[in-house]
Amino acid sequence: MEVVLLPTPEDCGRVVADAVVGSVLPALARSGPVVLGLATGSSPLLAYQELLRRHRDEGLSLTGVQAFLLDEYVGLPAGHPESYREVIRRELTDALGLDPAVVHGPDGAAADPLQAARDYEAQLLAAGPVVVQVLGIGSNGHVGFNEPGSSLASRTRVKTLTEQTRTDNARFFGGDVDAVPRHVITQGLGTILGAQHLVLVATGEGKAEAVAAAVEGPLTASCPGSVLQLHPHVTLVVDEAAGSRLVRADHHRYVLAHKLASQGW
Protein backbone atom coordinates (compact mmCIF):
# COMPACT_ATOMS: atom_id res chain seq x y z
CA MET A 1 0.00 0.00 0.00
CA GLU A 2 1.36 3.41 -0.91
CA VAL A 3 0.71 5.92 1.87
CA VAL A 4 0.88 9.49 0.62
CA LEU A 5 1.19 11.89 3.52
CA LEU A 6 0.60 15.50 2.49
CA PRO A 7 0.49 18.85 4.30
CA THR A 8 -3.09 19.92 3.52
CA PRO A 9 -6.49 18.55 2.44
CA GLU A 10 -6.12 20.57 -0.79
CA ASP A 11 -2.89 18.70 -1.56
CA CYS A 12 -4.77 15.45 -0.97
CA GLY A 13 -7.49 16.53 -3.39
CA ARG A 14 -4.93 17.18 -6.13
CA VAL A 15 -3.21 13.81 -5.67
CA VAL A 16 -6.52 11.92 -5.64
CA ALA A 17 -7.52 13.73 -8.85
CA ASP A 18 -4.13 12.81 -10.37
CA ALA A 19 -4.60 9.16 -9.37
CA VAL A 20 -8.13 9.01 -10.82
CA VAL A 21 -7.13 10.68 -14.06
CA GLY A 22 -3.98 8.53 -14.23
CA SER A 23 -6.08 5.36 -14.16
CA VAL A 24 -9.10 6.51 -16.17
CA LEU A 25 -7.56 8.34 -19.13
CA PRO A 26 -5.33 5.45 -20.31
CA ALA A 27 -8.31 3.10 -19.96
CA LEU A 28 -10.48 5.47 -22.04
CA ALA A 29 -7.73 5.68 -24.64
CA ARG A 30 -7.76 1.88 -24.94
CA SER A 31 -11.52 2.25 -25.63
CA GLY A 32 -14.27 -0.03 -24.35
CA PRO A 33 -16.30 0.65 -21.22
CA VAL A 34 -14.45 2.26 -18.34
CA VAL A 35 -15.96 1.95 -14.87
CA LEU A 36 -15.11 4.62 -12.32
CA GLY A 37 -16.03 3.88 -8.71
CA LEU A 38 -17.16 6.89 -6.69
CA ALA A 39 -17.55 7.51 -2.97
CA THR A 40 -19.73 10.21 -1.46
CA GLY A 41 -19.30 12.03 1.86
CA SER A 42 -16.94 14.90 2.66
CA SER A 43 -13.57 13.25 2.09
CA PRO A 44 -13.47 13.18 -1.73
CA LEU A 45 -15.05 16.62 -2.24
CA LEU A 46 -11.80 18.52 -2.78
CA ALA A 47 -10.70 15.87 -5.27
CA TYR A 48 -14.02 16.19 -7.10
CA GLN A 49 -13.65 19.99 -7.14
CA GLU A 50 -10.18 19.55 -8.62
CA LEU A 51 -11.54 17.24 -11.33
CA LEU A 52 -14.19 19.86 -12.11
CA ARG A 53 -11.55 22.61 -12.25
CA ARG A 54 -9.53 20.56 -14.74
CA HIS A 55 -12.69 19.90 -16.76
CA ARG A 56 -13.49 23.62 -16.84
CA ASP A 57 -9.99 25.07 -17.26
CA GLU A 58 -7.95 22.32 -18.91
CA GLY A 59 -10.45 20.41 -21.03
CA LEU A 60 -10.38 17.21 -18.97
CA SER A 61 -13.10 14.92 -20.30
CA LEU A 62 -14.32 11.76 -18.60
CA THR A 63 -16.89 11.08 -21.31
CA GLY A 64 -17.07 7.34 -21.88
CA VAL A 65 -16.96 6.55 -18.18
CA GLN A 66 -19.66 4.55 -16.41
CA ALA A 67 -19.75 5.76 -12.80
CA PHE A 68 -20.75 3.34 -10.02
CA LEU A 69 -21.44 4.43 -6.45
CA LEU A 70 -20.27 2.50 -3.42
CA ASP A 71 -23.46 2.69 -1.46
CA GLU A 72 -26.89 4.22 -0.92
CA TYR A 73 -29.29 4.80 1.94
CA VAL A 74 -32.32 2.55 2.09
CA GLY A 75 -35.68 4.26 2.30
CA LEU A 76 -34.92 7.73 0.96
CA PRO A 77 -37.24 8.42 -1.97
CA ALA A 78 -35.56 8.73 -5.38
CA GLY A 79 -34.47 12.33 -5.82
CA HIS A 80 -34.07 12.99 -2.08
CA PRO A 81 -31.27 15.60 -1.82
CA GLU A 82 -29.21 13.39 0.52
CA SER A 83 -29.57 10.21 -1.48
CA TYR A 84 -26.07 9.43 -2.71
CA ARG A 85 -27.18 9.35 -6.33
CA GLU A 86 -28.37 12.96 -5.96
CA VAL A 87 -25.28 13.99 -4.00
CA ILE A 88 -22.88 12.71 -6.65
CA ARG A 89 -24.84 14.36 -9.44
CA ARG A 90 -24.80 17.65 -7.54
CA GLU A 91 -21.15 17.48 -6.49
CA LEU A 92 -19.56 15.96 -9.58
CA THR A 93 -21.16 14.19 -12.47
CA ASP A 94 -23.60 16.85 -13.76
CA ALA A 95 -20.87 19.49 -13.89
CA LEU A 96 -18.53 16.97 -15.56
CA GLY A 97 -21.13 16.66 -18.30
CA LEU A 98 -21.88 12.99 -17.57
CA ASP A 99 -25.36 11.86 -18.52
CA PRO A 100 -27.33 10.67 -15.44
CA ALA A 101 -27.86 7.42 -17.36
CA VAL A 102 -24.16 6.54 -16.88
CA VAL A 103 -24.25 7.23 -13.14
CA HIS A 104 -25.28 4.08 -11.29
CA GLY A 105 -26.08 3.40 -7.66
CA PRO A 106 -27.95 0.84 -5.63
CA ASP A 107 -31.71 1.43 -5.66
CA GLY A 108 -32.29 2.38 -2.05
CA ALA A 109 -35.95 3.19 -2.78
CA ALA A 110 -36.73 -0.31 -4.09
CA ALA A 111 -39.63 -2.21 -2.53
CA ASP A 112 -37.23 -5.13 -2.03
CA PRO A 113 -33.84 -3.71 -0.99
CA LEU A 114 -32.30 -7.19 -0.60
CA GLN A 115 -33.03 -7.93 -4.25
CA ALA A 116 -31.87 -4.43 -5.25
CA ALA A 117 -28.52 -5.19 -3.59
CA ARG A 118 -28.14 -8.44 -5.52
CA ASP A 119 -29.13 -6.66 -8.74
CA TYR A 120 -26.54 -3.93 -8.16
CA GLU A 121 -23.78 -6.46 -7.54
CA ALA A 122 -24.70 -8.22 -10.80
CA GLN A 123 -24.83 -4.92 -12.70
CA LEU A 124 -21.41 -3.93 -11.39
CA LEU A 125 -19.85 -7.30 -12.20
CA ALA A 126 -21.29 -7.15 -15.72
CA ALA A 127 -19.97 -3.63 -16.32
CA GLY A 128 -16.65 -3.95 -14.50
CA PRO A 129 -13.96 -4.25 -13.54
CA VAL A 130 -13.81 -0.91 -11.78
CA VAL A 131 -10.69 0.79 -13.12
CA VAL A 132 -10.27 3.01 -10.08
CA GLN A 133 -12.37 3.18 -6.92
CA VAL A 134 -12.39 6.32 -4.78
CA LEU A 135 -12.90 5.56 -1.08
CA GLY A 136 -13.26 7.38 2.20
CA ILE A 137 -13.04 5.81 5.63
CA GLY A 138 -15.38 6.20 8.59
CA SER A 139 -14.08 7.26 12.00
CA ASN A 140 -14.77 3.64 13.06
CA GLY A 141 -12.82 2.21 10.13
CA HIS A 142 -15.77 1.45 7.84
CA VAL A 143 -15.23 1.45 4.09
CA GLY A 144 -18.28 1.81 1.92
CA PHE A 145 -20.87 1.18 4.61
CA ASN A 146 -19.18 -2.02 5.76
CA GLU A 147 -19.27 -1.39 9.47
CA PRO A 148 -16.91 -3.12 11.94
CA GLY A 149 -17.65 -6.85 11.96
CA SER A 150 -18.42 -6.96 8.23
CA SER A 151 -17.11 -10.00 6.42
CA LEU A 152 -13.88 -9.26 4.60
CA ALA A 153 -15.28 -11.31 1.69
CA SER A 154 -18.72 -9.65 1.63
CA ARG A 155 -20.61 -8.79 -1.54
CA THR A 156 -23.18 -6.03 -2.07
CA ARG A 157 -25.97 -6.34 0.47
CA VAL A 158 -28.17 -4.51 2.97
CA LYS A 159 -26.41 -3.44 6.16
CA THR A 160 -27.47 -1.66 9.34
CA LEU A 161 -25.50 1.47 10.24
CA THR A 162 -23.91 1.85 13.64
CA GLU A 163 -25.19 4.67 15.81
CA GLN A 164 -21.74 6.27 15.50
CA THR A 165 -22.05 6.44 11.71
CA ARG A 166 -25.60 7.79 11.94
CA THR A 167 -24.37 10.45 14.37
CA ASP A 168 -21.38 11.28 12.10
CA ASN A 169 -23.71 11.64 9.11
CA ALA A 170 -26.41 13.65 10.89
CA ARG A 171 -24.60 16.79 9.65
CA PHE A 172 -25.96 16.04 6.17
CA PHE A 173 -29.51 15.86 7.60
CA GLY A 174 -29.58 19.19 9.41
CA GLY A 175 -28.03 17.63 12.53
CA ASP A 176 -31.06 15.37 13.03
CA VAL A 177 -29.79 11.84 13.81
CA ASP A 178 -33.33 10.48 13.57
CA ALA A 179 -33.48 11.57 9.93
CA VAL A 180 -30.45 9.42 9.00
CA PRO A 181 -31.68 6.09 7.63
CA ARG A 182 -30.79 2.99 9.64
CA HIS A 183 -30.16 0.80 6.61
CA VAL A 184 -28.02 1.04 3.52
CA ILE A 185 -27.11 -0.98 0.47
CA THR A 186 -23.35 -1.14 0.23
CA GLN A 187 -20.82 -2.82 -1.98
CA GLY A 188 -19.18 -5.51 0.10
CA LEU A 189 -15.51 -5.54 1.00
CA GLY A 190 -14.99 -8.41 -1.43
CA THR A 191 -16.74 -6.37 -4.13
CA ILE A 192 -14.53 -3.35 -3.44
CA LEU A 193 -11.40 -5.52 -3.62
CA GLY A 194 -12.38 -6.35 -7.20
CA ALA A 195 -11.45 -2.84 -8.36
CA GLN A 196 -8.10 -2.55 -10.10
CA HIS A 197 -6.91 0.48 -8.13
CA LEU A 198 -8.18 1.71 -4.76
CA VAL A 199 -7.65 5.37 -3.86
CA LEU A 200 -8.63 6.15 -0.28
CA VAL A 201 -8.60 9.71 0.99
CA ALA A 202 -8.86 10.78 4.63
CA THR A 203 -8.31 14.17 6.21
CA GLY A 204 -8.52 15.53 9.73
CA GLU A 205 -7.63 14.30 13.18
CA GLY A 206 -10.96 12.47 13.50
CA LYS A 207 -9.75 9.89 10.97
CA ALA A 208 -6.27 9.37 12.48
CA GLU A 209 -7.12 6.30 14.55
CA ALA A 210 -9.02 4.59 11.72
CA VAL A 211 -6.20 5.30 9.25
CA ALA A 212 -3.56 3.87 11.59
CA ALA A 213 -5.66 0.77 12.24
CA ALA A 214 -6.29 0.26 8.52
CA VAL A 215 -2.65 0.69 7.50
CA GLU A 216 -0.67 -0.65 10.46
CA GLY A 217 -3.14 -2.72 12.46
CA PRO A 218 -3.95 -6.37 12.01
CA LEU A 219 -6.12 -7.55 9.13
CA THR A 220 -9.43 -7.78 10.94
CA ALA A 221 -13.15 -7.36 10.38
CA SER A 222 -13.04 -5.08 13.44
CA CYS A 223 -11.42 -2.49 11.17
CA PRO A 224 -12.94 -3.03 7.72
CA GLY A 225 -10.41 -0.60 6.20
CA SER A 226 -7.65 -3.09 7.03
CA VAL A 227 -8.91 -5.21 4.10
CA LEU A 228 -6.99 -2.81 1.87
CA GLN A 229 -3.85 -4.61 3.03
CA LEU A 230 -4.93 -7.51 0.78
CA HIS A 231 -5.13 -5.40 -2.39
CA PRO A 232 -2.18 -5.13 -4.78
CA HIS A 233 -2.73 -1.49 -5.78
CA VAL A 234 -3.81 0.94 -3.07
CA THR A 235 -3.04 4.65 -2.91
CA LEU A 236 -3.92 5.96 0.54
CA VAL A 237 -3.87 9.75 0.59
CA VAL A 238 -3.92 11.49 3.97
CA ASP A 239 -3.17 14.93 5.32
CA GLU A 240 -0.84 15.34 8.29
CA ALA A 241 -3.75 15.30 10.75
CA ALA A 242 -5.25 12.05 9.47
CA GLY A 243 -1.77 10.51 9.29
CA SER A 244 -0.74 11.70 12.75
CA ARG A 245 -1.03 8.24 14.39
CA LEU A 246 1.00 6.41 11.74
CA VAL A 247 4.10 4.90 13.34
CA ARG A 248 5.89 4.78 9.97
CA ALA A 249 4.96 8.36 8.95
CA ASP A 250 8.62 9.35 8.50
CA HIS A 251 9.19 6.45 6.15
CA HIS A 252 6.13 7.39 4.08
CA ARG A 253 7.43 10.97 3.74
CA TYR A 254 10.85 9.61 2.75
CA VAL A 255 9.36 7.31 0.10
CA LEU A 256 7.31 10.17 -1.35
CA ALA A 257 10.30 12.52 -1.44
CA HIS A 258 12.28 9.89 -3.38
CA LYS A 259 9.51 8.62 -5.63
CA LEU A 260 10.67 7.83 -9.15
CA ALA A 261 8.89 9.90 -11.80
CA SER A 262 8.11 6.65 -13.63
CA GLN A 263 6.31 5.18 -10.63
CA GLY A 264 3.11 7.20 -11.07
CA TRP A 265 0.19 6.48 -8.81
- Which residues in the 98-127 window bind ligand F6R by CB under 6 A? none
Please provide residue 90's backbone torsions phi and psi, each rounded to the nearest 5 degrees: -70, -40
Among 40, 83, 133, 154, binds ligand F6R (CB under 6 A): 40
Nearer to ligand F6R, 138 or 148 (CB): 138
Using the minimum distance from each CB to ligand F6R, give the nearer residue, 66 or 150: 150
Q: Which stretch binds ligand F6R (CB under 6 A): 121-129, 136-144, 175-183, 230-238?
A: 136-144
- Closer residue to ligand F6R, CB minimum distance, 40 or 66: 40
Rg (the chain; Cα; Å) = 17
| From 14, 42, 128, 229, residue interacting with ligand F6R (rule: CB under 6 A) | 42
Apex 21 CA angle, 15 and 25, nearest 5: 160
Contact status: 234 vs ligand F6R (CB under 6 A): no
Q: What is the DSSP string of 57-117?
A: HH----TTEEEEESEEESSPPTT-TTSHHHHHIIIIITTTT--GGGEE---TT-S-HHHHH
Instruction: Please state at what angle helix 45-58 crosses helix 9-29, rounded to 10 degrees.
Output: 60
Nearer Cβ to ligand F6R (66/169): 169
Among 19, 130, 143, 223, which residue interacts with ligand F6R (rule: CB under 6 A)?
A: 143
At closest approach, how far in Å is the CB of 145 from ligand F6R?
6
Q: In 3D, which of 11, 8, 23 has the Cα closest to residue 47? A: 11
Residue closer to ligand F6R (CB basis): 66 or 140: 140
- 237: helix, strand or coil: strand
Amino acid at 210: A
Contact by Cβ (8 Å): 107, 71: no
Among 50-58, 131-139, 148-156, 191-199, the segment contacting ligand F6R (CB under 6 A):
131-139
Q: Is 41 in the site for ligand F6R (CB under 6 A)?
A: yes
The least CB distance from residue 136 to ligand F6R, in Å, is: 2
Helices then strands, each counted (H, E), the chain? 8, 10
68 binds ligand F6R (CB under 6 A): no
Q: Least CB distance from residue 115 to ligand F6R, whole Å?
A: 21
What is the C-alpha to C-alpha distance for residues 41 and 171, in angstroms, rounded to an integer?
11
Instruction: Evaluate whether 133 touches 143 at the Cβ level (below 8 Å).
Output: no
Which residue among 4, 13, 24, 71 contacts ligand F6R (CB under 6 A)?
A: 71
Interface residues with ligand F6R (CB under 6 A) are: 39-43, 70-71, 136-138, 142-145
